[in-house]
């Protein structure tokens, strides 16, 4: 990058900074111009703040901190160890829920009602001001005998004047004063009440004889108002601590109210717990009555069932039946074996041919007598066989033995029959008994099932009974336990040392802010909505056309603002523009300068005239052409008339010469004028005439500068026709007159190069807005008009 390019960038940055700085200064100066707006606004808001602070009621902040029971966070400050086990009979709570309870209008209204805060007393404290007094500061007390519906619908104020310790005067609204005696019943729209002397009043009644008292009866609105301002804040999300804040005109009254609210809260919480416990005990007692009857009925049913079925323990009896049946079966089996043995012996004894045979030893019976007979029989048989080995059967000994054997044989047979009959009887008895056992054992499952059903009913009722008895004892213990309330006071209610509402510092601060902000905002909004050009910076943002200079407002309203001996601000500004124009043109001679504007009234004629005069004062010959052929104003502003002018010269049919239309300006030897002449019907066509080019050529030969005062570029096309002859085009832009859309038109002309060397002159600039100088500096530097 070249050094020249870097220097150019630095210069451009410095120019932008200078423009911004100048813009801020102009904005400041613009607001400073309206200083009286700011002064008036500050005075109005200041007086309003003072009035509001004087008339408003001063409120003290009363605050207290509580620790609440919160089962969710494990906070339980009750020392009774049984209570945690009995929380089923008390309502569960959380910090959030209890905070909403404190905010309830019901709780606050109940506290107001118990403290009788529906009646407030005030003492005069200056013009239009009243100060609340409370308790022993009040010489009287108001007691309502009865209230009607009107009491809660609106507030009512009474003024009371104490005459002596027996009488007083009472005035209600605009009604006449009436005299009453203390203790006398008074009737009005709100009900009946009586006024008595306060025995706790610590001043003398005489001190209030010249000072009226104001008594205000509040309705339900008081509770709502206090609830709206009642602040309940959770101090810490991890703890069950809340902060209560209330605002009141009297500190002690606020403390009493806050204490009462806390008291009622704890009382209501305890009542709620006691109501639940009492209801629980009543419900359990009612249930126990019916449950006891049902339980006795089921126990009696079980008893009767056992008596009918002759059982005490079904399981034991079932085991007994099983054991008895097994024993019977074993006995029957033994009897059957014995009977079979006896029948075998009997059959063996009854067979022929074995009269002298021994009975087999395997055929033994349990009966000892029979076994002894059989043993004797077998011994005789053996003795006979031994005798027959040595003697004959006819031997008397053998015969005797044979006879004995026959006798024993008969005895054995007879004994077997008897034993067998006994065994048969025993067998039948056992069979009968076994049948009975089997029959009873088959009914055991049914008896067990029916008895189990009865026992199940009895067990359910018994468990229900025991549960109710247990819960009743718990409820009774809960009711009897010492209650510490639902909250514990950490910091008792305390009042602020000074009133916190209204905050006078904030009020006066806001009054100053609004005092300056309102006019500032109005001016700002006006500027934002105003489409007219107000600052040089706005022109620079909307167009890149070079600004040649600024003209301040002409205070004398004279068409000529510059002269050889004048050093006024506007004269110096015209000289400044002349210098700038010479710098832009350079050393070129015979220049044609086209002066135009967006609309009529932006000062192009005034500028054209004074630019020509300034050039004349510099020794340059200049001529002004009044080319606003539709609405000429140059000669009229100078109180001059001309019989012939441009319209005559441009009309080829009239053959008017240049000398006929050219007029010298009085007092200005180097300045000439050519007026419009008679207003033509076809100005645009005249400018396209070949005589137009001839006119410019002759004037350039005769004058150093030809200044064309043309018609507004935003209204007609005349200026575009004349621009072909111009070397420099100057657009007049007037502050607070030219619109931003007209500047866009100028920018379009620059972009499309419709005019040569376009420049802008800003008109009607105020002194403090010009070049960024201050008004004091400008007034001291320039010559007075």
- Which tens digit of pLDDT belongs to each residue from 550-581? 998 887 778 888 888 888 888 899 999 999 98
755 in a structural domain: yes
Counting Cβ atoms within 10 Å, is residue 155 exposed (0-12), middle (13-18) or buried (19+)? middle
775 in a structural domain: yes
| Residue 318 host element (H or E) | helix 314-350
End position of a domain, from candidates 415, 442, 461: 461
Judge contact between 759 and 624, C-beta under 8 A: no
Q: For residue 635, how many other CB atoms are within 10 A of its CB?
A: 20
Q: What is the pLDDT of residues 147-181, one digit of tens each?
A: 777 676 667 788 888 888 888 888 887 788 889 99
Query: Are 226 and 318 part of one and the same domain?
Result: no
Name the nearest CA neighbour of 645 among 621, 610, 677: 677
pTM above 0.85, yes or no: no
484 in a structural domain: no
Mean pLDDT computed over 626-631: 86
For 729, the 3-state DSSP assignment is strand
Tell me the pLDDT band of 7, cut-offs 50, 70 and 90.
Answer: low
| Residue 258 host element (H or E) | helix 251-308
Percent of the chain at pLDDT > 90 equals 15
pLDDT reading at 510 higher than 60: yes
Least confident residue range of 106-110, 172-176, 221-225, 246-250 = 172-176
Q: How many helices (H) and strands (E) does the chain have?
A: 21, 21
End position of a domain, from candidates 248, 274, 300: 274
Query: Are 81 and 204 part of one and the same domain?
Result: yes
Query: Are 360 and 217 part of one and the same domain?
Result: no
- Whether the bond into 39 is cis, omega within 30 of 0: no
228 in a structural domain: yes
480 in a structural domain: no
Query: Are 170 and 239 part of one and the same domain?
Result: yes
Q: Which residue has the higher pLDDT, 506 or 387?
A: 506
Cα(47)–Cα(61) distance, integer angstroms = 27
Query: Are 67 and 170 part of one and the same domain?
Result: yes
Residue 182 dihedral angles phi and psi, to the nearest 5°: -65, 135
- DSSP for residue 769: G
pLDDT value of position 259: 93
Query: Are 248 and 337 part of one and the same domain?
Result: no
Strands (E), 460-619: 487-495, 546-552, 591-597
Query: Are 584 and 447 part of one and the same domain?
Result: no
Q: For residue 76, how many other CB atoms are within 10 A of its CB?
A: 14
pLDDT reading at 16 higher than 80: no
Cα(596)–Cα(763) distance, integer angstroms = 13
Name the nearest CA neighbour of 594 among 611, 580, 615, 582: 611
pLDDT reading at 442 higher than 70: no
Query: Are 168 and 119 part of one and the same domain?
Result: yes
| Residue 472 host element (H or E) | helix 396-480
Query: Are 248 and 389 part of one and the same domain?
Result: no
pLDDT value of position 61: 93
Judge contact between 140 and 160, C-beta under 8 A: yes
Q: What is the pLDDT of residues 307-364, one digit of tens each?
A: 776 666 655 665 665 566 667 667 777 777 777 777 777 777 777 666 667 776 555 5
Q: Which residue has the higher pLDDT, 475 or 604?
A: 604
pLDDT value of position 287: 82
End position of a domain, from candidates 419, 438, 461: 461
pLDDT value of position 365: 59
**Angle between helical axes of 504-529 and 35-55 (0-180°, round to 10):** 150
The CATH number of whichever domain residue 582 belongs to comes to 3.40.50.300
Query: Are 202 and 98 part of one and the same domain?
Result: yes
pLDDT value of position 762: 93
Name the nearest CA neighbour of 406 among 380, 426, 372, 429: 380
Q: Which residue has the higher pLDDT, 636 or 71?
A: 636
pLDDT value of position 87: 45
35 in a structural domain: no
Tell me the pLDDT band of 644, cut-offs 50, 70 and 90.
Answer: confident
| Residue 133 host element (H or E) | strand 130-133
Query: Are 115 and 177 part of one and the same domain?
Result: yes
Structure-block tokens of residue 106:
């019901």
Question: Which structural domain, as residue segments, surrounds residue 234?
Answer: 60-274
Percent of the chain at pLDDT > 70 equals 83
Cα(278)–Cα(270) distance, integer angstroms = 12
pLDDT, the chain, mean: 80
| Structural domains in the chain (count) | 3
Alpha carbons within 13 A on the beta-carbon side of 410: 5
22 in a structural domain: no
The DSSP string of 347-368 is: HHHHSTT-TTSPPPTT---S-H
Mean pLDDT computed over 669-682: 87
Cα(436)–Cα(690) distance, integer angstroms = 159
- DSSP for residue 422: H
pLDDT reading at 213 higher than 70: yes
pLDDT reading at 639 higher than 70: yes
pLDDT reading at 268 higher than 90: no
Q: What is the pLDDT of residues 314-329, one digit of tens each?
A: 556 656 655 666 676 6
Least confident residue range of 388-397, 442-451, 648-657, 672-681 = 442-451
Query: Are 193 and 318 part of one and the same domain?
Result: no
Q: Which residue has the higher pLDDT, 236 or 328?
A: 236
181 in a structural domain: yes
Tell me the pLDDT band of 771, cut-offs 50, 70 and 90.
Answer: very low
- DSSP for residue 59: B
């Amino acid at each position: 990058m070249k050094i020249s390019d870097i220097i150019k960038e630095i210069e451009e940055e410095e120019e932008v900074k200078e423009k911004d700085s100048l813009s801020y200064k102009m904005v400041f100066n613009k607001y400073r111009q309206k200083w009286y707006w700011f002064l008036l606004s500050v005075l109005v808001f200041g007086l309003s703040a003072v009035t509001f602070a004087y008339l408003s009621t001063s409120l003290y902040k009363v605050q207290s901190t509580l620790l609440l029971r919160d089962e969710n966070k494990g906070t339980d400050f009750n020392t009774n160890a049984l209570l945690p086990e009995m929380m089923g009979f008390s309502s569960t709570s959380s910090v959030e829920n209890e905070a909403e309870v404190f905010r309830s209008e019901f709780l606050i209204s109940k506290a107001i009602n118990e403290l009788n805060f529906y009646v407030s007393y005030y003492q005069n404290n200056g013009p239009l001001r009243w100060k609340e007094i409370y308790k022993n500061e009040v010489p009287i007390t108001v007691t309502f005998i009865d209230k009607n519906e009107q009491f809660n619908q609106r507030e009512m104020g009474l003024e009371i004047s104490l005459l002596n310790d027996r009488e007083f005067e009472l005035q209600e609204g605009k009604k006449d004063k009436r005299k009453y005696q203390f203790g006398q019943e008074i009737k009005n729209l709100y009900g009946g009440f009586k006024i008595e002397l306060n025995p706790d009043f610590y001043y003398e009644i005489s001190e209030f004889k010249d000072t009226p008292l104001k008594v205000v009866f509040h309705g339900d609105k008081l509770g709502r108002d206090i609830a709206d301002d009642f602040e309940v804040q959770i101090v810490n999300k991890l703890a069950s601590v809340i902060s209560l804040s209330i605002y009141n005109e009297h500190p002690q009254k606020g403390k009493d109210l806050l204490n009462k609210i806390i008291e009622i809260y704890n009382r209501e919480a305890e009542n709620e717990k006691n109501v639940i416990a009492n209801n629980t005990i009543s419900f359990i007692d009612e249930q126990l009555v019916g449950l006891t009857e049902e339980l006795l009925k089921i126990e009696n049913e079980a008893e009767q069932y056992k008596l009918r079925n002759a059982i005490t323990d079904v399981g034991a009896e079932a085991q007994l039946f099983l054991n008895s049946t097994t024993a019977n079966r074993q006995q029957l089996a033994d009897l059957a074996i014995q009977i079979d043995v006896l029948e075998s012996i009997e059959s063996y004894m009854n067979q022929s041919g074995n009269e002298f045979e021994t009975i087999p030893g395997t055929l033994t019976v349990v009966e000892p007598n029979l076994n002894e007979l059989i043993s004797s029989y077998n011994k005789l048989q053996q003795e006979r066989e031994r005798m027959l080995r040595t003697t004959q059967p006819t031997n008397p000994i053998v015969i005797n033995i044979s006879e004995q054997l026959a006798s024993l044989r008969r005895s054995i047979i007879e004994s077997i029959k008897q034993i067998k009959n006994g065994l048969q009887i025993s067998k039948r008895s056992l069979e009968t008994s076994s049948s009975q056992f089997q029959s009873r054992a088959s009914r055991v499952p049914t008896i067990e099932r029916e008895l189990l059903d009865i026992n199940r009913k009895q067990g359910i009722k018994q468990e229900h009974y025991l549960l109710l008895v247990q819960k009743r004892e718990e409820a009774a213990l809960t009711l009897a336990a010492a209650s510490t309330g639902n909250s514990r006071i950490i910091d008792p209610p305390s009042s602020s040392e000074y009133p916190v509402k209204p905050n006078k510092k904030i009020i006066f601060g806001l009054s100053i802010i609004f005092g300056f902000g309102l006019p500032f905002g109005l001016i700002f909004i006006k500027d934002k909505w105003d489409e007219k050009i107000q600052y040089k910076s706005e022109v620079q943002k909307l167009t890149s056309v070079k600004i040649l200079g600024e003209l301040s407002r002409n205070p004398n309203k004279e068409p000529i603002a510059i002269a050889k001996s004048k050093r006024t601000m506007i004269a110096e500004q015209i000289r400044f523009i002349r210098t700038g124009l010479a710098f832009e043109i350079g050393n070129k001679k015979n220049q044609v300068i086209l002066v135009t504007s967006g609309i009529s009234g932006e000062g192009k004629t005034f500028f054209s005239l004074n630019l020509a005069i300034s050039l004349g004062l510099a020794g340059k010959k200049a001529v002004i052409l009044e080319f606003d052929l539709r609405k000429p104003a140059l000669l009229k502003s100078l109180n001059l008339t001309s019989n012939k002018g441009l319209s005559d010269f441009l009309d080829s049919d009239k053959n008017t010469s240049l000398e006929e239309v050219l007029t010298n300006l009085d007092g200005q030897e180097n300045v000439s004028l050519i007026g419009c002449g008679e207003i033509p019907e076809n100005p645009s066509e005249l400018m396209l005439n070949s005589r137009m080019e001839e006119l410019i050529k002759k004037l350039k030969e005769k004058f150093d500068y030809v200044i064309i005062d043309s018609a507004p570029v935003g209204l007609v096309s005349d200026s575009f026709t004349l621009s072909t002859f111009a070397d420099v085009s100057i657009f007049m832009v007037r502050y607070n007159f030219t619109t931003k859309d007209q500047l866009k038109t100028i920018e379009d002309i620059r972009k499309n190069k419709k005019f040569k060397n376009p420049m802008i002159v800003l008109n009607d600039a105020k002194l403090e807005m010009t070049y960024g100088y201050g008004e004091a500096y400008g007034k001291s530097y320039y010559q007075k008009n």
